Structure 1
Amino acid sequence: MKSPKIVSAQAIDDHTLSIKFSNHEVKHYDISKLLEKPMFKPLKNPHFFKHFKVDIDGYGLMWNDEIDISEHELWQNGISQASTE
């Protein structure tokens, strides 16, 4: 199954993202499990964590050249929330 693209995202606390997808569904994604991996350790810093960009084509979230999370991961493992529309 193809995952919908990311339309927008925001950090709602020091380890949780709220992501709106192109199908209008909103999911929350907790990054805590990723912090065990060396690549994601910088995300433990709340200031760094909250400063990401949505890929221009909606295929993921990016913090820098080394750290990103794909739309597929966020879609598959995010927790569905009430729609914003």
Structure 2
Amino acid sequence: MTPDVVRVRPLPDYQLEAEFATGEWRVFDMRPYLAYPAFAALAEGSLFMKAHVVLGTVAWTDEIDISPDTLYLCGLPV
């Protein structure tokens, strides 16, 4: 089981820098995901920069979020 996200920083070029409950930081590239309908709205305007943590998960709206498993397993250690 992967740890929860405790802090997130949206970065330019659709990157997320996430801190996990273990104290580890990972950088995750969201660009490939923007082609999927579930994340397409993040490519428009400033919505992507509104990323925040909700119950250990990174979310943008009530309908758009990404699992901590994906961020941890596919993110690059900082």
Common fold, TM-score beyond 0.5? yes
Report the AA paired with residue 19 of structure 2. Answer: K
- The match for 2:13 is 14
Shift of 1:14: 3.3
Query: Equivalent residue of 1:66, what SS?
Result: coil
- The match for 2:27 is 28
Contact 1:14 1:49 in 2 (8 A): no
- The match for 1:80 is 77
Unmatched runs of 5 consecutive residues or more in structure 1:
none
1:40-51 alignment runs, 5 A limit: 40-51=39-50
Q: After TM superposition, what 4+ stretches of structure 1 lie above 4 angstroms from structure 2?
A: none
Choose which of 44, 62, 67 in structure 2 pairs with 1:65.
Answer: 62
Query: Equivalent residue of 2:73, what SS?
Result: helix
RMSD: 1.1
Cα distance in 1 between the residues matched to 2:62 and 2:10:
19
Corresponding pairs, count: 78
Report the AA paired with residue 68 of structure 2. Answer: E
Q: Decide which structure has the larger Cα Rg and report it.
A: 1
